[in-house]
Amino acid sequence: MGLSNQEDDIMNHDHRDLARDMSLIATDATVGAGLPLWLPAGAAMRHELEQLGRETALATGCRPVYSPVLGKRALFEQSGHWDKFADDMFPAMAMGGTDADDLVLRPANCPHHAMLYAAEQHSYRELPIRYHELAPMFRAERSGVVSGLSRVRQINLDDTHVFARPDQIRDEVTLALGAGLDVLDTLGVEVSYVRLSCRDSSDRWLGDPGHWADAEAQLREATHAVDLSRRGLALREEAGEAAFYGPKLDIQVLDAAGREETISTVQLDFGQPERFDLTYIGPDGARERLVMIHRGLVGSMERMVALLLEVHDGRLPIWLAPVHVCVLPLSDAQQDPAAEAAAQLSAAGLRVRVAISGSLGRRLREARRRRDSLLAVVGPTEVAAGRLAVHDPATVGRTDLAVAVLRDWLRAAIGARQPRVDLS
């Protein structure tokens, strides 16, 4: 990967440039287009996003599951993906049986999760059941259209499927919508509005119009329950914009260029429960049809990283930053105390880098280019006082701190997922 010619503080809103400046992602023609390699700095950021996804899932009653990235073609014929999305799927792998036995890379995780639900019998008392997985799915994007992290061939998704009774839709969607808004708040992404996509009067919708009307009313009630207006958010209803298999709520955000983007989504699905015959045992012992809810809060790791880089211009909330502190000895004489300070910070679980080669000015520019969160300079005065000269390029805040104090401040800010450490 080549370095940017723009090493100074130039605002750079394209995530591909930021990912290169920050050493997050590499691509290689031999690996293939649309198949990004996550360098350690990118992996650190992705790990934090995955943790946020996992914690949010657990806090909202999800149970973690694992499922394979492959499934028989028959699975995707049953789900309907084979009919609708075959052009976006990678070619099936012949396994010597019939066509239905061929294996395919999954275009979505939903069928596997439907099968996880179907693997056991469930009573109405157990519902809702929520399965969560950070799971990859695949799109056979053409080489010409893949780009950075916004269009890739393996999409790593924060994915939840809820299996609920029809009377549980409102509470379930309230839970998911509230959690989705909190996630975006934690990530420092401003929400533009919430969109409710409904059916219209045409006949292209799957299922009973009465179920649709009831489900749409419950989605509307969920938006009241999370009190959008208190959060300063509007609800926009769009008739005819639903998926053919169910209405949905999307949390809309604006990217750095002002384009609207959907990040978190809560999607009702009347179709998959029919196709996979998903039921629960009702109070009278009869099998009842459930509703499936697709829920993605952090969304795809690739798109979220691209969005975060652009909206923050690489100056990420400190808990997400690949490097929390860059330690810079003023000259060779301070290399040992700088290394000791870095070791003390690393031992506390912080991500630390020591910058030693080249002039101080050059190292500071490099640290700014990489968007290291805090810069800590160690000169003779700091060594004598047992302190670091700490500087936050994002706020221009600066102060002198003992290493242990910096460590404690950072741990507190990161533990609480605060945007930054207050150096004032």
The CA distance from 262 to 104, in Å, is 27
Cβ–Cβ under 8 Å, residues 271 and 290: no
Residue pair 194/234 in contact (Cβ under 8 Å)? The answer is yes
What is the Cα–Cα distance from 185 to 191, expressed in whole angstroms?
Answer: 8
Nearer to Zn ion, 268 or 378 (CB): 268
Applying the rule CB under 5 A, the residues between 271 and 300 that interact with Zn ion are: 294
Q: Please say whether the dihedral angle defined by the alpha carbons of residues 184, 189, 192 and 197, taken in this order, is positive or negative.
A: negative
CB of 294 vs Zn ion, minimal distance in Å: 3
Binding mask 321-350 for Zn ion (x = CB under 5 A): ------------------------------
**Segment contacting Zn ion (CB under 5 A): 105-113, 128-136, 342-350, 354-362?**
105-113
**Selected binder of Zn ion within 75, 110, 177, 345 (CB under 5 A):** 110
What does each C-alpha distance from 415 to 11, 34, 403 come to in angstroms?
29, 34, 18
Measured from the CB atom, the residue of 48 and 158 that comes closer to Zn ion is 158
Indicate the residue among 299 and 322 with the shorter CB distance to Zn ion. Answer: 299
Q: What minimum distance in Å lies between the beta carbon of 161 and Zn ion?
A: 6
Name which of 294 and 417 has its Cβ closer to Zn ion. Answer: 294
User: What value, to the nearest 5°, has the Cα angle with vertex 129 and ends 123 and 130?
Assistant: 170
CB of 366: closest distance to Zn ion in angstroms? Answer: 42
Nearer to Zn ion, 48 or 159 (CB): 159
Separation between Cα atoms, residue 27 and residue 18, nearest integer Å: 14
Nearer to Zn ion, 38 or 245 (CB): 245
Q: Which range in 86-94, 106-114, 177-185, 326-334 contacts Zn ion by CB under 5 A?
A: 106-114
Judged by CB, which is closer to Zn ion: 304, or 421? Answer: 304
DSSP 325-389: EEEEESSGGGHHHHHHHHHHHHHTT--EEE--SS-HHHHHHHHHHTT-SEEEEE-HHHHHHTEEE
Give yes or no for residue 312 binding Zn ion (CB under 5 A). Answer: no
* Alpha-carbon dihedral sign for residues 113, 119, 120, 124: positive
Which region, judged by CB under 5 A, interacts with Zn ion, from 56-64, 103-111, 138-146, 404-412? 103-111
Local structure of 252: helix, strand or coil: strand
> Least distance in Å: CB of 149 to Zn ion?
21
Shortest spacing between CB 108 and Zn ion, in angstroms: 6
CB of 288 to Zn ion, least distance (A): 21
Report how many residues bind Zn ion under the rule CB under 5 A: 2
Q: How far is CA 219 from the centre of its chain?
A: 23
- C-beta neighbour count of 95 within 10 angstroms: 11
Minimum distance, C-beta of residue 148 to Zn ion, in the bound complex (Å): 25
Q: Whole-number minimum distance, CB 206 to Zn ion, in Å?
A: 15
Closer Cβ to Zn ion, 73 or 294, answer by number: 294
Binding site for Zn ion (CB under 5 A): 110, 294
